[in-house]
Amino acid sequence: MKEKSLRLRTAAFLAAVALFFSVFVGELFRVQVVNAGDYSTAGVRVNAVESTIPAARGEILDCNGVALVTNEQVNAVVLNASYFPPTSRQEERNTILAALISLCEEHGVEWNDDLPLEFDANGNIQYKEDAQADIAFLKSRDVLHLNSYATAQNCFDALVETFQLENFDKETARKVGSVCYSLKRISFSAMNPYTFADSVSNEVAAAIKENGAVFTGVDIVVTTRRSYPDGTVAPHILGVVGKLDAEEYAALSEEFETAHADESLSEADRKTLELRAYGMDDTIGKFGIESAMEDTLRGTNGVLTTTTDAEGNKTSEITTAPVQGSAVILTLDSNLQKRTQDALAAFVQQYRDKEAIPAVGSAVVIDVKTGGVLACATYPSYDLSTYYEDYSALAADTDSPLWNRALLSTYAPGSTMKPAIAVAGLEEGVITEDTRIRCTRYYTYFTDTVFRCTDYHGSIDVKEALNRSCNIFFYETGRQLGIERMNEYCTRFGLGQKTGVEVGESTGVLASIEYRESHGGTWYPGDTVQAAIGQSDNLFTPIQLANYAAALATGTRYQAHFVKSVKTADFSETLLENTGTVASELNVSDKTLAIVREGMGRYGQRIAALKNLPVAVAAKSGTAESKAKVEGKIVEGLNGFMISYAPIDDPEIAVAVAIENLNSGSATATLVAEIYKAYFEAAEAPQAQQGYNSLLS
């Protein structure tokens, strides 16, 4: 019996040994054969971590290859999730963050403090203004698990508890909590590193590197940020980049998920899509060309694989190289842009102290043969280099320097409307070249209302009516045309329509019965004659006026644009070339255009400032009534305009200016003359165009 029991125990033992060895051999096979790639003969690899290499953004250049927006290398402080303590070691995290914040503040370094809570002057916690989306996320299940009606103090108390900040004073607790909040906000991980500070000095970078034991998981990453050779050049057009906000991130994430779910995507395209996906810590174009050309300027991130062997030795390899964003070449001429800005500023400054409402304005220069915008200036303006530092002051400035007046402001155009009405009258047979209308200063067709002219012109034809800006002539022409036929031609000129530029612009208003009634008003016969001289409900942007002038010059309206071409980052390949897109053929007879051009030419040659230029200029000024509230009171004033093109015989450019709170449109002639001088002097001077490839050196 004992012998049998012994045999059974022996058999069981041998079976167990056999099982052990079979498992051991199987595991050995898995390690040495199946996972041979993870355990190389050069040294056993126990860990491999992939991290993102941010791609540099594409540059923005002017039409001559002059850099307008570039990149500069900076030391960024980045938290690396592969080595930064996990949330299970929150107190260790907090110690590192407190030391990092202290180091940066000691050296005057700005770090990314995005928590939507702040202390007021009395030390009470409050919500930051205009941070509703961030406040909602802070209260959400992802962070503090609070109700939507939670107060700022509720949030702060929960922040301290959630992130174990009880041992810090409240100022330090808020700062450390801010970083903890941001780590939650971006879904902090190896592929979603967190940029703690965008740029630090070499001294701070060295201190972090030398104290690796203190700053565990804190890396110094050489990256790029936007740089401006001259931040005052075309800031309203170029725009800026900034951190993604919650709404932007949500929208981009949804776009990514939709695109990623497309089963027809190739593996290569899917990988590119993943590398171009936005992280919550990324930057994006906020307005201007930076926003309009975001997909083009944004590069494709790379991948860095870091391996650690059994002895703790680390090796890094770029497994996917980052690809810089494409270069965007603009139609803007930086020299002409600067001179236009300077001329506009000097002109406006003459009037700022003379009027109850300070003068402000804009100027636009367009290539009449392509629709390319050569210059687009707004005054007052600002410097892109200090945009974020100056933002609060700029936003509070009552002159609204952040507002792009050239593209967004709309104005009653006054007499600059008259060339379009002349074209309509001639084409529709309401008037001819020889038609004469008597101006006695008063238009008495309507028994209940008398409309006036600025002067007594006597019997006058269309050419002299344009030259002398006779209201009576255009009242009568407009009345006979009617608003529908007037608007048919104004539409061909693009008035009351977007011009097609890549950046944000206003549509404006072309006065009509439908528009008036849609806003609860009534259209009266007198509105038609008022519309004929650029009043009534007509509201156009300065860039519309410039494009309208360009169409008068050539008989063709082009789509206005700022982007001339797109090239690869090394300028070796052209990805897009914009030589001009026809928006509308005017379908107007050469004779009609010749008559109107002669009338505008007479005006241009009658005004001294334009007459003395080396090239002949065709022009039409306009003055329109305006109202503004000053210190709680409505103050009435006038706005001045001028549309023009030159040379008359072979037009190259069109110029339009709009100056608010100026008593006379004709006064803008000196400004227009300075812009033409800038253009034609540069055209005559020998220039060495900067080659694109030279920008790489």
Domain boundaries, the chain: 2-34, 72-228
Across 54-58, 106-110, 186-190, least confident range: 186-190
| DSSP bridge pairs for 280 | none
For position 686, what pLDDT does the model report?
A: 61
Task: Classify burial at 474, counting beta carbons within 10 Å of its beta carbon; exposed 0-12, middle 13-18, buried 19 or more.
Answer: buried
Sequence letter at residue 523: W
For position 663, what pLDDT does the model report?
A: 82
Dig out the tokens for 266 from the structure.
Answer: 């190739």
pLDDT-based confidence at residue 44 (cuts at 50, 70, 90)? low
> Which pLDDT tens digit goes with each residue over 545-586?
999 999 999 999 999 999 999 999 999 999 999 999 999 999
| DSSP bridge pairs for 373 | 366
Residue partners of 614: CB distance under 8 A and separation at least 6: 680
Q: Is 208 helix (H, G, I), strand (E, B) or coil?
A: helix
Q: Edge-to-edge strand order for the sheet containing 653-660?
A: 373-379, 360-367, 653-660, 633-646, 618-630
pLDDT-based confidence at residue 628 (cuts at 50, 70, 90)? low
The pLDDT of residue 5 is above 60 = no
pLDDT-based confidence at residue 625 (cuts at 50, 70, 90)? confident
Characterise 330 by phi-psi region: left (phi > 0), alpha (psi -120 to 50), beta (else): beta
CA atoms of 691 and 697, how far apart (whole Å)? 11
Q: How many CB atoms sit inside 10 A of residue 398's CB?
A: 7
> Which pLDDT tens digit goes with each residue over 509-551?
999 999 999 999 999 999 999 999 999 999 999 999 999 999 9
Nearest to 643 by CA among 686, 610, 612: 610
Dig out the tokens for 424 from the structure.
Answer: 């309509």
For position 355, what pLDDT does the model report?
A: 58
For position 12, what pLDDT does the model report?
A: 45
For position 354, what pLDDT does the model report?
A: 60
For position 639, what pLDDT does the model report?
A: 94
CA atoms of 15 and 11, how far apart (whole Å)? 6
For position 613, what pLDDT does the model report?
A: 95
Query: CA 156 from chain center: how many Å?
Result: 35
Contact of 258 with 280, CB cutoff 8 Å: no
Dig out the tokens for 558 from the structure.
Answer: 């082009």
Dig out the tokens for 181 from the structure.
Answer: 């909040």
CA atoms of 379 and 216, how far apart (whole Å)? 50
For position 631, what pLDDT does the model report?
A: 62
For position 629, what pLDDT does the model report?
A: 62
